Structure 1
Amino acid sequence: MNALSFILAIVAGGLGAGLRYGATVALPPKKEGFPLAIFIVNVVGSFLIGVFTALLINTVLSTELGFILVAGFCGGFTTMSTFAVESVERMQSGKWVIAGLNIIGSTAAGLLAVGAGYVIAGGPLSS
């Protein structure tokens, strides 16, 4: 990796984080309700990671650009830590069903979104 790629990854990460922040401002989480903003961000980010991975495999994207998009943009955009905090907060307030829906729903939707992005972008179905 060269210095320019490093700087571009930082910029891409900042852009992703800024968009995530915008989503949480647009759809602010309610302490006990379903954390919709982070759910949407993580599903969209998972879809994009699937797309970018397929494009990398098919050599449509260079390795450097792929890493800038996946680790930089998607890494800044998606958030495992906020997902975890929001789930724990629901558990602490006794909202076990909402916490469970967030944990199971986010995991399942994220996996499906990665797979959908991967297939839509032409990722190979078998190795």
Structure 2
Amino acid sequence: MIVVLLAVAGALGAVSRFVIDSFVKSKLKNAVFPWGTVGINITGSLLLGFLAGLVVLQDGSTDLQMVIGTGFCGGYTTFSTASVETVRLVQSGRHSLALINLVGTLVVAGGACAAGFALASVV
């Protein structure tokens, strides 16, 4: 049953990513920077940190962490797309934006994960 839930959660995560990224792109039609992907990776990292914190600090369900963390967050977050978007920024001569995308996403998503973990300690 866990495998089925994992697959469904992964599909929901991927669909959520598509819908959110499409929405952001429709609102920021002329944006060069990949705001949708950055936001998705940050919010997904926050959720994953929170889930990890629940399991580690609050004796939460490892099955829930697997389904939501691996399934939903795995389908939702997209560091491979962030990498491709960074390469595209480099190819278009936008080296500063590429560096901001690369380092910024990594740093802020890591911070969001840590914040989610810390948030789990107070619930």
Confirm or deny a common fold (TM above 0.5): yes
TM-score, normalization by structure 2: 0.91
Deviation at 1:13, TM superposition (A): 0.6
Structure 1 stretch displaced more, 36-45 or 49-58: 49-58
- Trace 1:1-127 onto structure 2 (pairs within 5 A): 4-28=1-25, 33-122=32-121
Distance 2:30 2:14 in 1: 21
Which runs of no fewer than 5 residues in structure 2 stay unpaired? none
Which runs of no fewer than 5 residues in structure 1 stay unpaired? none
Higher helix proportion, which one? 2
Cα-Cα RMSD: 1.8
Greater than 6 Å deviation, 4+ residue runs = 29-32
Q: Is the 8 A contact 2:58 2:121 kept in 1?
A: no
Give the number of equivalent residue pairs.
120
TM-score, normalization by structure 1: 0.88
Q: Percent identity?
A: 35
Classify the secondary structure of the residue corresponding to 1:58. helix
1:7-43 deviation per Cα after TM superposition (whole angstroms, max 9, x unaligned): 0000001111111001111112769711000000000
Structure 1 stretch displaced more, 22-31 or 34-43: 22-31
1:24-81 deviation per Cα after TM superposition (whole angstroms, max 9, x unaligned): 1111276971100000000000000100001111354321111111100000000111
